[in-house]
Amino acid sequence: MIDLNDAKKIRELDSMGSLITTENYDKQFAEGMELVKDFVVPELPDKVDELVLLGTGGGSSISGGMIRSLLFDELKLPVIINQGYNIPAFVDEHSLIFVVSHSGNTEETLNALSQAMETGATIIAITAGGKLKEIAQQNNIPLLIVPADIGHPRRDLGYIFIPMLVMLTKMGLISDKTADIEETIALFTELNKQYNPEVPVENNLAKQIAQELYGYIPLIYGSLDNLDAVAWRWKNQFGENSKLMAFWNVIPNLHHDEAVGWDMPQELIKMFYLIMLRDDVLDSEKIKKRKDITVQILSERMGKVRQVYATGKSRLARLFSLVYLGDFVTLYTPIYRGVDPTPVEVINLFKRKMAE
Ligand SMILES: O=P(O)(O)OC[C@H]1O[C@](O)(CO)[C@@H](O)[C@@H]1O
């Protein structure tokens, strides 16, 4: 095992700078605001029925999930995250579509886009380049180019999510979020002082969780209607960063189905490490009670249970305080095992095999 107090070793193992990118989320979010400042949004039809995000993977689809969770109480449109090759039949000239792909070359996203272009929907593209950039330019689709040098889509939430949020404001669909974004940027700077590689394990919650997790399967429980995309983000980051299968679900609905599975044989349920995402401000009293009961029951059944709490003032800052912790946890988890968090070999293998 790697000594997580050895910051030099941690940084050596993180050879492609995922930790540095995470430490720089404050700057990235600020740059995201700059990027979109002069972007001219298309005119919307009189009636918009839904917001559809075409995109997949750790950065693109999660950004849509964060939009949905953040704006649950505000946006008067359903948000649909479409990760597959095809678009649903309801997409038409009354749909607003964000097509998002960092690489610009993800085949599912491009295929869905080609279908969307036949519908007369209002489309906005966000990409660092690739075929998506070409298609957008050839077809006069409003296009936002984001920096390519970030390298890995899951590391560019600030470049994807923030512009989408600002565009929704520019289109008059939501209120201005500048103050909340600024608060979130300041919170990242603060939290970085707690989670960065130079902070020793005894004071570093992210390192503590990464160490404790060793030998267990991560299970993340969030809650409707705020911490669902955050739980999804943690799960994806365990996959891509930690090279660990992880599972997630949301309260309250898991109490009506998955919870029955808690009666599984002891030797199996002991393999899980539960991370319970909590928000004492956003969670209703009913949800808090459900989380308390869940923790009470599962502390006696699962290998370990950890509760982590959102901080910050605005809904935006609170959601991202937990995303930020999750990103650090999922980066320290492989490093503890001596594994570089950045490469995604299986994804590349799939892309090669699909191209054969
Ligand atoms: O379409 P994009 O944004 O390039 O990203 C899709 C890819 O990003 C990833 O998240 C890799 O980091 C993969 O899941 C996926 O292959």
- pLDDT tens-digit profile of 121-148? 999 999 999 999 999 999 999 999 999 8
Residue 290: pLDDT above 80? yes
Residue 15: pLDDT above 90? yes
| Ligand 1 pocket test target in 85, 106, 109, 352 with most atoms within 8 Å of CB | 106
* CB 69 near ligand 1, within 6 Å: no
**Average pLDDT, integer, range 306-314:** 98
Domain boundary among 176, 211, 243: 176
**Rounded Cα–Cα distance for residues 327 and 48 (Å):** 34
Q: Do residues 131 and 210 both lie within one domain? A: no
Q: What is the CATH number of the domain that holds 130?
A: 3.40.50.10490
Of 299, 253, 252, 294, nearest to 273 (Cα)? 299
Supply the pLDDT for residue 272. 98
ipTM score over 0.90, yes or no:
yes
* CB 347 near ligand 1, within 6 Å: yes
**Rounded Cα–Cα distance for residues 15 and 151 (Å):** 13
Q: Do residues 46 and 125 both lie within one domain? A: yes
Q: Do residues 35 and 164 both lie within one domain? A: yes
Distance 104 CA to ligand 1 centre (A): 9
pLDDT in tens, 208-251: 999 999 999 999 999 999 999 999 999 999 999 999 999 999 99
Q: Of ligand 1's atoms, which has the minimum distance to the CA of residue 350? A: 16
Task: Calculate the average pLDDT of the chain.
Answer: 97
Of 191, 192, 251, nearest to 220 (Cα)? 251
* CB 58 near ligand 1, within 6 Å: yes
Q: Of ligand 1's atoms, which has the minimum distance to the CA of residue 56? A: 6
Token code pair at residue 36: 């979109």
* CB 153 near ligand 1, within 6 Å: yes
Q: In which band, very low, low, confident or very high, does the pLDDT at 155 lie, cut at 50, 70 and 90?
A: confident
Domain extent for 66: 18-176
Q: Of ligand 1's atoms, which has the minimum distance to the CA of residue 160? A: 3
Residue 150: pLDDT above 80? no
With a CB cutoff of 8 Å and minimum separation 6, the contacts of 43 are: none
Supply the pLDDT for residue 153. 83
Q: List, in sequence order, every beta strand (DSSP E) within 20-78.
A: 50-54
Token code pair at residue 157: 């939430």
Q: How far is CA 74 from the centre of its chain?
A: 20
Answer positive or negative: Cα dihedral of 176, 182, 187, 188: positive
Q: Which helix (H) or strand (E) holds 193?
A: helix 178-195
Q: Do residues 69 and 127 both lie within one domain? A: yes
**Average pLDDT, integer, range 163-184:** 98
pLDDT in tens, 60-106: 999 999 999 999 999 999 999 999 999 999 999 999 999 999 999 99
* CB 133 near ligand 1, within 6 Å: no
Q: Do residues 26 and 170 both lie within one domain? A: yes
Q: Do residues 137 and 235 both lie within one domain? A: no
Q: In which band, very low, low, confident or very high, does the pLDDT at 151 lie, cut at 50, 70 and 90?
A: low
Distance 141 CA to ligand 1 centre (A): 21
With a CB cutoff of 8 Å and minimum separation 6, the contacts of 72 are: 225, 226
Q: Do residues 51 and 148 both lie within one domain? A: yes
Phi, psi at 153, each rounded to 5°: -50, -35
Q: Do residues 97 and 212 both lie within one domain? A: no
Domain boundary among 176, 197, 232: 176
* CB 239 near ligand 1, within 6 Å: no
Q: Do residues 172 and 126 both lie within one domain? A: yes
Q: Do residues 29 and 160 both lie within one domain? A: yes
Q: Do residues 143 and 262 both lie within one domain? A: no
* CB 341 near ligand 1, within 6 Å: no
Q: Do residues 193 and 150 both lie within one domain? A: no
Examine residue 211 and state whether it is found in any structural domain, yes or no.
yes
Name the closest-CA residue to atom 6, ligand 1. 57
The label of the residue with tokens 């054969």 reads 356
Number of domains in the chain: 2
Catalytic residue numbers, as ranges: 240, 256, 351
Examine residue 346 and state whether it is found in any structural domain, yes or no.
no
Distance 85 CA to ligand 1 centre (A): 14
Angle formed by the axes of helices 205-212 and 315-336, nearest 10°: 50
Of 327, 311, 301, nearest to 278 (Cα)? 311
Residue 58: pLDDT above 90? no
